[in-house]
Amino acid sequence: MGRLTGKVAIITGSAQGIGAAYAQGFAKEGAKIVIADVLDGQKAVEDIKRAGGEAIYVKTDVTDQAQCDAMAAAAKERFGGVDILVNNAAVFGSIVMKPFTEYSTKEFMKVLEINVVGQFHCMKAVFPFMKDKGGKIVNIGSSSINEGVPGMPHYVASKGAIMALTRSMAREMGDFKINVNTIAPGFTHSEGGNNFDKNKAMDIPPLETLQLNARCIKREALPEDLIGLALFLSTDDSAFITGQMIVHDGGLSFH
């Protein structure tokens, strides 16, 4: 029996990449999975089903509260409730690194809308289904807030806001036995991450090169590396941990 047998997990941004890895890892531990993404998530669903798991796809734009509410309602209707939310949806791979003076307010706000407001929408959406029985919320941040990465101020600001939001929500949700924590990965190879350096408009080495040389553990970071920590924060093993950010970047930054 898996550690998440009988649990229902919504994982946003899980049609591909790191989100799909979370979904597959959680399914292997027995969770019933809701693939929530603006992209087509049917392949991710089929991958889980082929491995013997249960999953559905719900097209979800996290910037729209109504769609997030529908996502949570679909989980309730199909699987009977919501126990876990992994707030993974974010914009990263399409960002063009450039001097901060070249960013428009519109560009800046769009990243905040997806990366921060989107997570807030999803937490609001699942709360009615968790408040009577408890639950686990895992927000995905970034160790970039410790590094001060140049050329992407909106992204770094958004991930800093996620940590602050996590602390606030942990305070509000604690009385309902809902744990809210943040994982802060470093640069991780995925569909989005692998294209990142192709878009930059600054004369700096590839982000992966910079991080690899600075890590204590000098190897590539892969989506599979993140599954164990996400599982830990989604099980009773972490029942007394909330409001925390756990850095997961191979020793690139210390927090």
Burial of 125 (0-12, 13-18, 19+ CB in 10 A): buried
Residue 148 pLDDT: 82
User: Which one from 22, 57, 103, 155 is the annotated catalytic residue?
Assistant: 155
**Looking at the domain assignment, is residue 146 inside a domain?**
yes
**Looking at the domain assignment, is residue 124 inside a domain?**
yes
- Which residue, chain included where needed, has tokens 């920590």? 229
Question: Do 6 and 178 meet the contact criterion of CB atoms below 8 Å apart?
Answer: no
Burial of 148 (0-12, 13-18, 19+ CB in 10 A): exposed
Beta bridge partner(s), residue 58: 36
**Looking at the domain assignment, is residue 254 inside a domain?**
no
Structurally, how many domains does the chain consist of?
A: 1
Q: Is the pTM of this model over 0.85?
A: yes
**Looking at the domain assignment, is residue 2 inside a domain?**
no
**Looking at the predicted structure, is the pLDDT value of residue 147 above 90?**
no
**Looking at the domain assignment, is residue 33 inside a domain?**
yes
The amino acid that residue 46 corresponds to is E
**Looking at the domain assignment, is residue 149 inside a domain?**
yes
CATH number of the domain residue 23 falls in: 3.40.50.720
Is residue 155 flagged as an active site residue?
yes
| pLDDT tens per residue across span 167-220 | 999 999 999 999 999 999 987 766 665 565 566 666 666 666 767 777 788 888
Question: Do 13 and 61 meet the contact criterion of CB atoms below 8 Å apart?
Answer: no
Residue 196 pLDDT: 59
**Looking at the domain assignment, is residue 1 inside a domain?**
no
Domain carrying residue 15: 8-248
Average pLDDT, the chain: 92
**Looking at the domain assignment, is residue 88 inside a domain?**
yes
Residue 177 pLDDT: 98
